[in-house]
Structure 1
């Protein structure tokens, strides 16, 4: 899956393609049975994609008694090359989708399965709208839980319950131009956590030498990152904390970094040797992504608001939740298991890092072999690709990072949208931090209590 910035700034194309909704009305409703005695499992998706379409076809070939009905909220027009155009998808579309699915599920209706990436997971779990998949895992002797990354599964839980299961995920890191940092005589430890305040010191030194701290990082992107870093304090447990010095200081710090020219939104060819940017927000989205990163780049911890390491963060790409009111839970579970099988996890259409450990190792080795043979299809010039020794070392580094991933980063799309809308008036100088924080607080509180 190709990646864009988060929705209008926040949504990656990966998450967009994974959203859940129904054609025309948002969610779709489980029918339970169709003519011929088949059980129908309704799966809510924002847009169909190749991975899901192929999964449905293969699953139905193996399960003649189950029909998977994909309910699509918005079909994207095809481009001339046979791809899909993203121009017709708006923030309003995604918001309407979320509202529609949420309303249907709360009313006791809705689809059997939902791709949860842009749905309010906290609200769904709090209102007991999702099945605890740990119960199904425990009862099913045919499913090998050990085939999946245990640390990712554990970190995907809400309390002791697993209400959303990831099919694939990405690691939330930044890429740093190691060679540029050496030229600037600046040392940043790849393995140590650091704060945005520490980054400011680095950015000032870089600026003095004609370099930039981050490339292509907008104020809104940074705001979203701050909110996700402090989500428990700002949104958690239904008690918003935006009307606080914590959040006001966040906004002021962001504005100051842009006012002082320490950050900008420009992009000047990060992977190239002539690049002036030291860092870029780009984690590990797939085995191919990790091994085709230019040889002058390395992965670094992402700066945080407090500079403390609370865990190595990851984000869902595909993540599924099961409606607790579904009348076809065994059939829905069978489809989830199929999506986690070796066959589907090895699909070239699955984007993100596979949840299946053996498949992930296989994917890394396949990319490594293509690098060795010179057959890897990548826009990166071959002379900038890592050599075999560097590629093998990078695999080891990524596998270690995967084993350490233990902090699920998630947020409510509606909350981020509210924050973005009000924050822009602060950045433009139209409203004070105090005014904006109170407006966000009131709007988020209203939304949470709906």
Structure 2
């Protein structure tokens, strides 16, 4: 792709420039200068969304601001003006628009017409859409769209069972039926989203969630004039040009509104639902977490204008809602900050010729896999340190075919060659080996200070402590637990006990233990691996007898529980989105639902985050004599998003400052879907929020908070060993490979790696 080629060329030129600027005797004037800088110019106290944006002739930007009704109370709508240059914002409540947001109605979009009138689409409490117009700013009249009535008759049936919609950190579950099944809310009704009023008075209305199309309606009688296919939800209009994504979201499509035909298609890497499309007199621009890029009308080469890595665009909780061009080279980003304090922020991006193109200082972070909490910390750190560039190196993306062992070998080569990163994400790396070889620096003084000042769990901060020295810290953690009847949990002391008691589903018997359908399938070893790896793996030493015992228990558990025929309880799991703008989600297991419905007395699962915790409480808090315990009383936990400072790194002090940011409340307070916070105050805050949101009993924690304080043993997950074990999963479960033979094979296949 031409865009990809341009990136390579740009990267090569940037490298040459950086190398030349670092050479001996280089003058300051030789340094590449000029880049866009970010400035926050306004913050709305409430979470809402800006719409009906219009650039006025004097350079001011007028808009409407629709406040969300987060607590069920009616929202209200403001009109506003952002002055030229962004020096001031003035807002005022619009009564007639606010009336539309009452009585269960939802205002989808607002547009300003060329005649000065204001138009709005809203859906009433029955989910029926309406288009209205106000010419005096006080009263409004409805504009009929005949197609809506026709569609409503043919498509306005009941919701679709089994589907659900996730937005900004929440998922709405329907009531559970008497049979214990869950139906998720869904609807086939018309759901118009974007509204544009053209110069001749016609309307353009998009339907991203019902049909994936954009329709043009006559301003005279509301009749359908044209249809345009779309993918995703982004659409932008400038004069007689419409841009959107094609149906499979692989290209940006430009339509000529006069002819109704496609006038051009543009390729752009990384298109997603979060990709923002904009258009102005100079061409098309695209904004996402990587930054803002432009292309001229009909062009083929994209130019990176704003580096997202140096701005709020790269912060996972900052969801970009709008990007406005004032057509003078200044941009305004409207972000819905979906983090703990949920606000709308307005950012201004201005080109500064006196600012170095690339910051003078670079901090390098290396990790096997991409991590949302690290990205959040990077964004917060960049805000505080705009003259530092963080180079976040991710070795294995989702589509990567490289093995963990190959990556670690390459990393070890870099470390030996003195080309070490400044910080290592320790998840999956051979941490014990790195401690023994002096790769990781002792940060015990820093951790001691932060534990007191930030209110961190002191027990969790000892995850990587060896002989009084601390070589790393987790920033999140997960816990394998038992959930259910206290007496039943007393009877289960080991995985062997659980395997022996597990039985196929029997509707007439409440069993002590039974794995849910989602675990009893081919993924049983994958699901339970982390829970028991400490039993047989210590550092790089494998205890063959204990590994054989573990694989025997897994094989027995699989054989005893698998014959349920898909009727034993909740099948699968639900992904509940976090507060991240990129849709990162937390996998919530379903086993606690079986406990709550009296189908089984105990369940083994992992608390992956606050959403999992909330789901467990929702299902079992009304059951008598239940609790949450550490799995088999081992008080184990899995460190997540763990980080260590590299002893040979060039930015030691800066690396420690990043660790401070990572463990600060600014990051820990955010629900990012990748584990529980290691900050005790953040944990309590998040726990209380879930209790409130789910309308659960206040002050009842079923022993969870005490459990967090009593965790003592970190679970060390070596990804190379794990890959080797799971490669044999199917043969082990099906019995074609005996546990003892599998153990010998695992030891043999990892021997070279473990000896290095």
3-state DSSP of counterpart to 2:642? strand
Counterpart CA distance in 2 for 1:209 and 1:45 is: 47
| CA contact 2:377–2:667 (8 Å) conserved in 1 | yes
Q: 2:557 aligns with which of 257, 266, 271?
A: 257
Quote how far apart the aligned CAs of 1:353 are.
1.8
TM-score, with length taken from structure 2:
0.44
1:213 alignment counterpart = 514
Counterpart CA distance in 1 for 2:565 and 2:436 is: 38
Q: 2:650 aligns with which of 317, 327, 348?
A: 327
| Residue 73, structure 1, aligned to residue 380, structure 2 | no
| Residue 353, structure 1, aligned to residue 676, structure 2 | yes
2:667 alignment counterpart = 344
* More helix by percentage: 1
3-state DSSP of counterpart to 2:477? strand
Quote how far apart the aligned CAs of 1:120 are.
1.7
| Residue 393, structure 1, aligned to residue 700, structure 2 | yes
- Mapping 1:291-440, distance limit 5 Å: 291-293=614-616, 294-296=618-620, 299-301=627-629, 309=633, 311-349=634-672, 351-372=674-695, 387-389=696-698, 392-394=699-701, 397-422=703-728, 424-440=730-746
Distance 1:302 1:435, change over 3 A: same
3-state DSSP of counterpart to 1:150? coil
Distance 1:107 1:442, change over 3 A: farther
Counterpart CA distance in 1 for 2:467 and 2:666 is: 31
| CA contact 1:203–1:262 (8 Å) conserved in 2 | no
1:168 alignment counterpart = 476
Quote how far apart the aligned CAs of 1:299 are.
4.8
3-state DSSP of counterpart to 1:336? helix
Q: CA RMSD in A?
A: 3.6
Quote how far apart the aligned CAs of 1:295 are.
2.7
Structure 2 residue runs of 5 or longer lacking an equivalent are 1-167, 170-355, 571-589
Structure of higher RCO (CA pairs closer than 8 Å, 6+ residues apart): 1
Counterpart CA distance in 2 for 1:275 and 1:201 is: 21
Counterpart CA distance in 2 for 1:136 and 1:49 is: 23
Counterpart CA distance in 1 for 2:361 and 2:459 is: 34
Q: State how many pairs are aligned.
A: 369
| CA contact 1:173–1:299 (8 Å) conserved in 2 | no
2:460 alignment counterpart = 152
- Mapping 1:199-278, distance limit 5 Å: 199-204=498-503, 209=509, 213-215=514-516, 216-217=518-519, 218-221=523-526, 224-225=529-530, 227-230=532-535, 234-236=536-538, 238-242=540-544, 244=545, 246-261=546-561, 268-269=569-570, 270=590, 271=593, 276=599, 278=601
Quote how far apart the aligned CAs of 1:60 are.
2.2
Counterpart CA distance in 2 for 1:132 and 1:355 is: 20
3-state DSSP of counterpart to 1:56? helix
Distance 1:265 1:157, change over 3 A: farther
3-state DSSP of counterpart to 1:282? strand
3-state DSSP of counterpart to 1:415? helix
Render the CA deviation track for 1:1-46: whole Å, top value 9, x for unaligned.
99xxxxxxxxxxxxxxxxxxxxxxxxxxxxxxx9988331101244
Counterpart CA distance in 1 for 2:669 and 2:500 is: 43
TM-score, with length taken from structure 1:
0.70
Counterpart CA distance in 2 for 1:142 and 1:205 is: 49
3-state DSSP of counterpart to 1:41? strand
